[in-house]
Chain A
Amino acid sequence: MVRWILIAALTLGFIGTAFWGYKEHQDKNAVLIQAENTYQRSFHNLTYHIDLLHDKIGTALAMNSKDKLSPQMVEIWRLTSEALSDVGQLPLSLLPFNKTEEFLANIGEFTYRTAVRDLDKEPLSDKEIETLENLYDQSEEIKDELRQVQHTVLDDNLRWMDVQLALATQDEPADNTIIDGFKTVENTVDEFTESDVQSFSTTVDTKEHAYQHLSGDKIDKQQALADSQDIFQVDHSEQIDIAQSGKGADVPIYSMSYQGDDKNAHMDMTVQGGHPITLLVDRPINEQKISLHKGAEKAKAYLEKFGFNDMSLFASSQYDNVGVYSFLYQQGDTRVHSDAVEVKVALDNGDILGFTARNYFMNHKERDIPKADLSSEEAKEEVNDSVDIQEEYQAVIDNDFGEEVLVYEFIGTMGGDTYRIFINAMDGSEEKVEKLNDSETDYASMT
């Protein structure tokens, strides 16, 4: 009897201990993941901030007007302080990382000093511009190194907790890519210390005007179903699911989805007027047969089929065997940046894989475009002298306050970089400057 009680008690105790141990282990894991995530966030934020910093400094170089430059300097200053705080949260206390911190502090100091002073009275001197150019080159190298480290981290699933452990135990970390990577970054910065150290990669923002100009009558589900069957190019409408949006939607829409053996597709259509807002087709894509250029023609024809006339090709990019195109609405000679449509074309047979006209339908209307007060020659005067202007357009963009303004859009080069510069066609103020970059070293092919 006693023996049985003893066995029962011991078994219970054992189960209890096992359970407690398991719980403890789980808790520990949760905390470890939490800590790991914090490190990961700081690291990825750091690389992103440095990348952005590099772009902003480049943009500042291409700017001309003082009232744009000051906010840009403030922006760079803000980014350096963010980047510094990112560095501060990484477990690098045992690593020599002070040079990079110093570099960031230098940029911060330089931009702060220029941001607070009245640039109208005291514009940037040649020496200061040279300093800024130096900083630009340096940030590029650091950015590249960091992106390379980041690629390795992501590719090999490296853990910051391992770095922490390696640093803490002071074992000879045989091959710790993160530590090695950061040492390279640090050395890169070191090469610059001799140099004399004395700010938008955002795409054109469109404030949302919320579908105020949708044309047409309301359509019913039957109509939407029939339209989507046509767009999906499927034989039977029974295979298509349809649902109407809930009350959180910006505008009432029907959502249709199709699940087939060969492909899946999904699209949204406005209830008002039955306009297609977004379409996505998922299917395996074979070897490339048609060129990006041919694809653009297909995309254009597709748009015209849906009544999008007067669209002009704005940008095109090839991702493996898919072409992605962006079109802008063109009213007369003026292109309207907020009325944008994107189209995705499979480059194996030219099928349309996707389409999104959300921006277009949110903003589109026939506008009263006034005549420009300035000639394009006068507007060019407002562009930084070191920018070599190659192309010009007239355009409507949303300014920083979300109002639509008529501008001259200049595309120009400075050094090896290309910039897009918007000059207000009425008062000549510099509305926006963007540095354009479109390709990146394939890190995967470098190792």
Chain B
Amino acid sequence: MTFGQVLLVAVVAVPALGAVATAAVPGDRAGRLVGTVAAALTLLATLPLVGGEHGWFGYGPRPAVQPWHQLDLTWVPGLDLRFHLGVDGISWPLVVLTALLTLLCCGYTLWRVPAGGGSGRALVALLLVVEVGILGTFLALDLVLFFGFFEVVLLPMYAIIAGWGGDDRRRAARKFALYTLFGSVLLLVGVYLVVTAAGTADLVTLTGGAGLSRSTQLAAFTLLALAFAVKSPLWPLHSWLPDAHTQAPTVGSVILAGVLLKMGTYGLIRVAVGVAPEGARWASPVLGALAVAAIGIGGLVCLAQRELKRLIAYSSVGHMGFVLLGVATLTATGLQAALIGNIAHGVITGLLFFLAGAIKDRTHTGSLAELSGLRETAPRLAGLLGFAAVASLGLPGLAGFWGEAFAVVAAVRRGGPLWLTLAVLAALGGALTAAYLLRLLRRVSHGRPSAAVAPLGPGLAGAELTAWAPLVVLALAVGLAPALVLSYASGPVEALLGVVP
């Protein structure tokens, strides 16, 4: 095995073993510590994956997916399942983001265990299992393996929401599990529709259609896109998201919004568009229209929200709308915008949920009506919230800008009356984003301190600063130097678009 293959296995195995160790170690705090160490080791293992053959050299026709490292082992030949992992410029940034956010969440749990549920140790173990599923999904180069990892996430996340969430957690958790399982089973049917027609589940071979007939591609794309639309979530299949986010504990919301939703958009790019390009071309106007509807409706619903976490949750619907709009254009600019939008949303919304959790923990309320004047009593918290909100609304120079701006640009470049209309509507939706986030800031930060806010102290715990600082830095760094993400993605995106008719 090469060093890269060892790393690939380590990225999946370390959190899995870490979860077992966390559950096995006696003592709650010791368990949480072991889990955090495992998460840190996972992050360390993801970083060197960037070194390797990036595939810029060579002559002749090249496959549409050129992993930097890959590992291909037989597992279940009877089900066309191979243990095939690989990483490239599309998946690597997401892999690092996943490892980073999980580490931050585990570290945060080391400091504070959400009230109302089981032990902190179990929470950390579940976070690590979720990490295994997400990382596996991003790394899988076998369709069936991809489906397997996609499913791994579901129950641990259910348990996190049901075990450590808010008052209405059971209903929200059940809704999350059933709704997303609905997506997963469609994925299962879509995957085997492709696999039985093509005779292989290898994503490297399958990318580009692999000679699938047009009707198979249309059916497969419909199933796969529906599956990923539930996960992303794309309006009108989003209704599980606000409840899940509102009820989930802070770390659950961070992982959910930060990386779990990305499984949907990543799957759309890598699997749906890659495997059924003709289907993607056929469905792109519908996807684009739905994406813009999501942007507009997400924004309008946000304007009417009265709960902090619910507002941020609905803002995810709008942001993921921009990502899907980028994918729907099927242009290099659009896909790049989608990828950087994914990363930016993960960083910024992760930060927003951390801050919302901190505010809720301190004031014991998330109602916007009961929150005001935060900057009077807790200026640092208010400042960070302002920073995150401004980053989220897409101010140039911060991470959120690139994804949203270039999704619109890509739609304009695609041309034609439909796409121009969509671009204009999406731009208007961007303005709505500014409106609801500024409304949020005016409600929460400004004005006289409310009864709930008045007793707050200005201090922030060291653990909080440690968890938030990397996200603040990343939001700035990706905003100022988008090449951090884009330089890795441009090659694979060109290669992928090379096979889309």
Do A and B come from the same complex? no
Chain A interface (Cβ < 8 Å from any Cβ of B): none
Chain B interface (Cβ < 8 Å from any Cβ of A): none
